[in-house]
Amino acid sequence: MPTEHLIDQVLEQGGIQDLQGLLSTRQLSARELMQWTLLRIAAVSQASGGINAVRELSAQAFDEAAAVDRRIERGEPLGALGGIPILLKDNILTGDGLRASAGAAALADFKVRRDATLVARLRAAGAIVVGKCHMTELADYVSDTMPAGFSGVGGMVLNPHTNEPYGRGLGSSVGSVAAVAASLVPLAIGTETQNSLQSPACHSSVVAVKPSVGLVSRAGVVPLVPSQDSPGPITRNVADATLALECLAGPDCRDSATLGARYGALGGEIPLSSLRIGVSRRAIADRPEVAGSMACFETVLSLLASGGAQIVDPCEIPSASAVLDVRSCVFRTEFKAALNVFLADHHEPCGIASLDALIAWNDAHPQHIPFGQSLLMAAASAFGLDSDQYRRDRAQDVALCGPGGIDAALAAHHADVLLVPMACAAKITGKAGAPVVALPAGADADGRPFGITVVASRGDDAALLRAAAAIERAVESGLGPRILSRFPRLT
């Protein structure tokens, strides 16, 4: 039987299968796992000086853990995620009494009676929803000066590795990412429209997957840009992310984007030597945020080459420079239309019937929007989805980033995946609806987490995950275990 020290190590660093091994052999009960999780959340997130990742806890979680223990006692098999505590981003709806504000103070008390499709699938796999995580308000579409991690509902989320805010433009799934980085839970669910999973993950030394748009249903998720929105898992390793994604994926009549997605088994292993990895240098150009960590990236490339991977360097995205200069109306147009439909469908939650009503509420409560609401106001003035400008801009986004971007780079060099430092290709992957895996890759010269992102064409999620797992093995073999958060083991 493992010692108490080894059990603690599994709790803090182990994968989902490691935890389920302790549960199924009764070396740890689901109630003990839940108690440990709640104590850690209290100590690391909720206490004074904590990271402020978790907004609210479920009143049902402990009872659900007890039900898992009863199933184990009866010899019933656990589901793929049986007994595993998980946290959800605050834009994902649940029918268990948890609120879903998307970070907006105007929607602070919004509750529904029906789980989002993805939540229903997680519960069917046996996962236990522990609570909700803070997020950048309205998926970072309130103000062009608001730092990532801030919301009118929750204040500021801190990075577990630095005890500092994430900074402007580093995505909205920061609470979910911080929760996994600080070992509050082994699995959290976030969403990405452009960089909201991959960017904070790279800054937090965790794995995150943004699936192809449509692989995971968005029904029951507060929208930002439906043509780009995609929920995905945050975990400690690629194997866990793959397992979670297999539970999340599937068609849903409530989300038409899922009806044309490519489904199938996502797992499996391939040797690193079978991979041709393209390096898109042009996507990295003029990116001051990664200039100080390029030495880390070159080290990763050397490790992969020495492990047998074929490195195609450069493997340019033809449209990379053009995409960086694109100014599109897609975000503001889709956000206005989608939010108005969502609010109407949910019977004007908290009295907010439209984007205009939300802006008016914020004007009347300026203490909740200290960074202003410039993006909301720009969205309010947007033309409709049937406007010529929107149609041209959306078509341009797709053409530049999909067929003329990621797809063209991979085809021209017969590469399997593209690799970039941090989230340098986020704008391209977002507009293309393409899948991305963010992987930890050590730390920069200042000791801050450094990550890489692996990219494939839209629909190639299975091949991407297999490639990411091979890259993960090589990086961990060469660099050693990822850096851990600053928080000590709980006693």
Q: Which residues, listed in sequence order, are joined to residue 230 by a DSSP beta bridge?
A: 192
Residue of 45, 58, 89, 230 marked catalytic: 89
Question: Helix 238-248 crosses helix 117-124 at what angle (to 10 degrees)?
Answer: 110
Q: Give the integer Cα–Cα distance in Å for 55 and 35.
A: 18
Q: How far is C-alpha 333 from the geometric centre of its chain's CA atoms? A: 23
Q: Report the candidate in 297, 303, 311 with the shortest Cα–Cα distance to residue 450.
A: 297
**Any idea which residue has 């730390």 for tokens?**
443
- Residue 279 near residue 419 (C-beta atoms within 8 A): yes
CA–CA gap between residue 89 and residue 135 (Å, rounded)? 7
Map residue 208 onto helix, strand or coil. Answer: strand
Which candidate, 266, 255, 247, 264, places its Cα nearest to that of 229?
255
Q: Residue 467: helix, strand or coil by DSSP?
A: helix
**Ordered DSSP codes for 306-359:** HTT-EEES----TTHHHHHH---SHHHHHHHHHHHHHHHHTTSGGG--SHHHHH
- Phi (first) and psi of residue 141, to 5 degrees: -130, 50
- How many angstroms separate the CA atoms of 244 and 203, rounded? 22
Active site residue 172: yes
> Which distant-in-sequence residues (6+ apart) come within 8 Å of 297 by Cβ?
290, 421, 441, 450, 452
Other Cβ atoms less than 10 A from the Cβ of 418: the count is: 30
Is 196 one of the annotated active-site residues of the chain? yes
Which two structure tokens, joined as six digits, stand for 73? 């006692």
Q: How far is CA 306 from CA 433, 454, 474, 476, in A?
A: 32, 18, 9, 13
Listed residue (267, 184, 179, 188) closest to 231, CA to CA: 188
User: What is the distance between the alpha carbons of residues 357 and 352, in angstroms, rounded to a whole number?
Assistant: 6
Please tell me which residue in 45, 196, 319, 328 is annotated as part of the active site.
Answer: 196
CA–CA gap between residue 312 and residue 304 (Å, rounded): 11
Active-site option among 45, 101, 172, 457: 172
Q: Is 274 a catalytic residue?
A: no
Q: What's the CA gap between 329 and 22, in Å, rounded?
A: 51
Where does 376-484 show beta strands of DSSP type E?
417-421, 436-443, 449-455
Q: Give the residue numbers marked as catalytic.
A: 89, 172, 196
